[in-house]
Amino acid sequence: MAYSLKLVLIGFLTLIVGLLVIALGPFDRKGTRAYALARFWTGAILKISRVHLNVRGLEHLDPTRPYILMANHRSYIDIPVLVEAFARFQLRLIAKKELVWVPVFGWALWASKHIIVDRSGQAQASLRRAKEKIAQGVSIVIFPEGTRGRSSGILPFKRGGFVLAAMAEVPIVPVTIVGSGTVLPRGEWRIRGGPIEVIVDEPIRMERDDLKSIGKLSGRVRSLMVSHLNRASGGREAGSPLAEEGFSGEAQARG
């Protein structure tokens, strides 16, 4: 399929689904119906783009339980990939407030009850909203790098997602996405298609006492991701020093 035709189809689909989600938003208190539309949207995008998913490790998880999914982030295609990979789960992103002002996409993000973070300092409010979603059985997606990384390795992790997991006492699930940076590289809009692998590790149990060892926990999660990427690239992946920052700089739907 010609590149320009792919873009037209994806753009048209995004507009139609986005407007439907916005219209549905006021009548969809928990966002479950809007999320069903979003799942249709992500599946169609991957099919149009000829992206082929291989998901390993889902047997570690119970679809009836909420988790905090910690994933590496290299491409805009990561979000559709995660939604499709975890098709039996209700997922919500933690997204920066600035995205709400993006026409259609940002409005649909708000209408479908994702967690909007004001990075100017309302960390406690963001934490409270995330805990409310978890109490409803919703799993939270966090990109602990805080933005899209480049092909040279995983960026330093921020600590906010680990604080949330400990405060809510919800297991962390390390998720490694392999190949998305090749399918849709940072700074480009040309989706090349091809295989993407999603590796789901066993959940890591979290309790409030784990607040004392967040640096160690984040290092453990990051090491798992680096290990998977190293295997996939033949050992060429480079790591980055671990960094810890606050919740207000946490995961973003776009980097």
CB 251 within 8 A of CB 93: yes
d(CA 138, CA 14): 24
CB 73 within 8 A of CB 147: yes
E strands of the chain, at which residues? 51-56, 68-71, 91-96, 115-117, 139-142, 172-178, 194-200
Give the relative orientation of helices 3-24 and 32-49 as an angle to the nearest 10 degrees: 180
Q: What is the DSSP letter of 150?
A: -
CB atoms within 10 A of CB 4: 8
Task: Please state the rounded mean pLDDT for residues 197-208.
Answer: 92
State residue 52's pLDDT score. Answer: 93
Tokens of 115: 């967690």
State residue 151's pLDDT score. Answer: 55
d(CA 102, CA 58): 33
Residue 225, amino acid: M
Supply angle C-alpha 12, 80, 199, rounded to 5. 160
- pLDDT band per the 50, 70, 90 thresholds, residue 110: confident
State residue 149's pLDDT score. Answer: 59
State residue 6's pLDDT score. Answer: 79
d(CA 149, CA 240): 11
State residue 243's pLDDT score. Answer: 33
pLDDT digits (tens, 9 = 90+) for 17-40: 989 988 888 888 888 888 899 889
- Structural domains in the chain, CATH included, are 3-249 (3.40.1130.10)
pLDDT digits (tens, 9 = 90+) for 209-249: 878 888 888 889 999 999 998 888 765 544 443 333 334 33
d(CA 11, CA 165): 35
Lowest mean pLDDT, pick from 155-164, 202-211, 228-237 = 228-237
State residue 120's pLDDT score. Answer: 58
Average pLDDT of the chain to the nearest whole number: 82
d(CA 11, CA 49): 12
- pLDDT band per the 50, 70, 90 thresholds, residue 123: low
CB 181 within 8 A of CB 151: yes
For residue 218, give the nearest of 172, 150, 180, 255 by alpha carbon: 172
Q: pTM of the prediction?
A: 0.84
Helix or strand run (H / E) with residue 16: helix 3-24
